[in-house]
Structure 1
Amino acid sequence: MPFKHNAARRHRIGKMKFKVTNWPEYDAGLRRRGSLTLWMTPEALSSWQAPKRTTRGGQPRYSDLAIETALTLGLVFGLRLRQTEGLLASVLKLMGLDLAVPDHTTLSRRARTRQSANRWKVHSCPRPVHVLIDSTGLEVYGAGQWLEDKHGTKSRRGWRKLHLALDADSGDIIAHVMTDQDAGDASQVEPLLDQIDGPIGQFTADGAYAGDPTYDAVSRHSAGAAIVIPPRSNAIARSDTDIDSQRNRHSAAIRTEGRMKWQATTGYGKRSLIETAIGRYKSIIGHRLWVRSFGAQQTEVAIGCEILNRMLDCTRPKSVRCKTKTA
């Protein structure tokens, strides 16, 4: 991980090189990500139509599975709702399936109220998980802030904040929360951890999460979890609780051994994995939200995270660091 104190001599430090050891499988998996082959299981065909309601009200025609399938295809191929309707209709026709296709107005209406994360939001794992947490901004569709800066017009459009929790070992997104632009990073730690059922072995985050609320939330979830957060420069040593002892050890290690040695010892460098996941989300799913309502935006983000996890399941590179030759 680059460090600011090495900036003056960065040109003299050789760049680390890595080699993918499973290149044939990884290359085949990358091609498989772009495959248009679709499978419809008998369970999916029988669940395409919504079950009949037992209470008063209108009868829905399409199940949540049908809505999620259409929205997933549209998000993968970067299509709007009308084009998504046409794509799904043509795919079902080529497959010889006589299934009704949700129209674009139905997709827009159902996306505002459907909770797409229910099927996969709870992550349970028998082993302690190394959790990485970070946040990023997503633009809202439209000119928004540019109009306000350029012409002084007031716009209700801004941007949303996506908070992600990543499994450092598998690279899967195991929890996510989307808030408005004014929400603080540390305030979303507990909502993210509530989506993780398994124990946490280590919690790693950047300096924006330093503070008692983060330490308290992690300790309530997993009492013995190791918390790796760089302390603030003006942090004062305290000895009231076990949380303070972890923070004091980090401060003492940075003062005596330096920040680079502390990063290598605690494994803080793995935090770059969640930055890579954020870049993967913005390059594949997109850096902006196309829908307008907040409920539909939550559905779009949930489906986007599930798409990334499925793509990662297709292929995972195994990289090893190449040894540098010394003169």
Structure 2
Amino acid sequence: MPYKHNADRRHHIGKMKFRVTNWREYEAGLRQRGSLTLWVTPEALIGWRAPRRKTRGGQARYSDLAIETALTLGCVFGMRLRQTEGLLHSLLTLMGLKVPVPDHTTLSRRAQKWEPSARRNRPLPNGPLHVLVDSTGLKVYGAGQWLEEKHGVKSRRNWRKLHLAVDADSGEIIAHRLTDQNTDDPSQVAPLLDQVDGEIDQFTADGAYDGKPTYQAILQHSCTATIVIPPRVTAVACCDTGPPGQREKHIAAIASDGRLKWQAVTGYGKRALIETAIGRYKAQIGRRLRARSFAAQQTEAAIGCIALNRMLAGGRPESLRHQVRQA
């Protein structure tokens, strides 16, 4: 980190400590994540089978709800499709429900065509949002990188990039996109914002998103949004006539007061919350994708985000910074 204050002496600076104020509720939520309690509502039983088609072609046996239920169980418990089929079959048998269970072949095929029927996340809070955006890499199932590094064998399986937009107040994932590894971050700002229904009060991202296209995409969505993106070291102010834009003000403030003060004034430190969300995704859902086709991988990432939001709703820590008493 080239812009850290006292970078050469930071190993002597004490790490900030936080205290969880709702430990009892948070601990109960963590235990609930591992619960195998499963209930099926009468509405779910009615909608388990796919409605009969009136057009030409074969008749689907399972609805999207049944496919999503099976894929969600496999995502949460980290199982392959065959094991997911066995788990769902055993659970429904123990519950005494005589409903058909999708086999692993059906799950693999339908995962490539699955689309969410409605919004699965909790409603967004009223009022403008503070949106945090970042991306991370997910490995594709298979040897891939190891073969290339160890034996020099070129692999067709590379990486996927998961682009996330997170609500800074709740920590929930409010938008996501899965692309190939060659897709740049600024090009995904507009598709992410298209999934956000509410107005944006502040948009925060790292320096990879710096540039005019990003600013234009954000202001087209919310014309009054405050954009906090650190300009590059070589960034210069635009020569256009007229009042300076937000990017030009950032460049002038950093040149005048330094980058550290600019981060404190703009609240750039909140960007660490999306790093926490990415770490939560990789710890709970996984660092690699199990599906083989790109369409099924998009479904897997989407269901992973939905499941992660449900886990977060079950229990989230409320932390306060520990104040050091002065002697």
2:218 maps to 1:218: yes
Matched to 1:312, the amino acid is L
Structure 2 CA distance for aligned equivalents of residues 243 and 53 of structure 1? 59
Structure 2 CA distance for aligned equivalents of residues 44 and 2 of structure 1? 54
2:36 aligns to what? Answer: 36
Determine if contact 2:5/2:260 at 8 Å carries over to the other structure.
no
- Equivalences for 1:270-285 in 2 at 5 Å? 270-285=270-285
Determine if contact 1:124/1:196 at 8 Å carries over to the other structure.
no
Structure 1 CA distance for aligned equivalents of residues 160 and 228 of structure 2? 27
Deviates more, 1:139-148 or 1:45-54: 139-148
Provide, for residues 115-151 of structure 1, a one-character-per-residue CA deviation record: whole Å limited to 9, x for no partner: 2485348975531010100000000011113223333
2:258 aligns to what? Answer: 258
- The structural deviation recorded for 1:8 is 2.0
- Other structure's SS at 1:182 match: coil
Structure 2 CA distance for aligned equivalents of residues 133 and 241 of structure 1? 30
Structure 2 CA distance for aligned equivalents of residues 219 and 241 of structure 1? 19
2:103 aligns to what? Answer: 103
Structure 1 CA distance for aligned equivalents of residues 197 and 268 of structure 2? 23
Q: Go from structure 1 to structure 2 and tell me whether the alpha carbon gap of 1:304 and 1:67 turns closer, same or farther (over 3 Å shift).
A: same
- Equivalences for 1:173-188 in 2 at 5 Å? 173-188=173-188
Matched to 1:22, the amino acid is N
Provide, for residues 3-31 of structure 1, a one-character-per-residue CA deviation record: whole Å limited to 9, x for no partner: 53423222332211111111111111111
- Other structure's SS at 1:249 match: helix
Structure 1 CA distance for aligned equivalents of residues 77 and 294 of structure 2? 22
- Other structure's SS at 2:6 match: helix
2:154 maps to 1:154: yes
Structure 1 CA distance for aligned equivalents of residues 325 and 15 of structure 2? 12
- Other structure's SS at 1:286 match: coil
Determine if contact 1:174/1:196 at 8 Å carries over to the other structure.
yes
- The structural deviation recorded for 1:53 is 0.7
- Other structure's SS at 2:178 match: strand
Determine if contact 2:162/2:177 at 8 Å carries over to the other structure.
yes
Unaligned runs of 5+ in 1: none
Matched to 1:79, the amino acid is M
Unaligned runs of 5+ in 2: none
> TM-score when scaled to structure 1?
0.95
- The structural deviation recorded for 1:224 is 0.4
Structure 2 CA distance for aligned equivalents of residues 239 and 53 of structure 1? 60
Structure 1 CA distance for aligned equivalents of residues 6 and 238 of structure 2? 32
Provide, for residues 271-318 of structure 1, a one-character-per-residue CA deviation record: whole Å limited to 9, x for no partner: 000011111111111100011000000000000000110000001111
- Other structure's SS at 1:119 match: coil
- Equivalences for 1:190-209 in 2 at 5 Å? 190-209=190-209
- Other structure's SS at 1:4 match: coil
Structure 2 CA distance for aligned equivalents of residues 139 and 95 of structure 1? 37
Provide, for residues 187-233 of structure 1, a one-character-per-residue CA deviation record: whole Å limited to 9, x for no partner: 11011001111100000000000000100000100000000000122
1:27 aligns to what? Answer: 27
2:237 aligns to what? Answer: 237
- The structural deviation recorded for 1:240 is 3.9
> TM-score when scaled to structure 2?
0.95
Provide, for residues 34-55 of structure 1, a one-character-per-residue CA deviation record: whole Å limited to 9, x for no partner: 1111121111111011111111
CA RMSD in angstroms, aligned pairs only: 2.0
Determine if contact 1:199/1:222 at 8 Å carries over to the other structure.
yes
Q: Go from structure 1 to structure 2 and tell me whether the alpha carbon gap of 1:56 and 1:122 turns closer, same or farther (over 3 Å shift).
A: farther
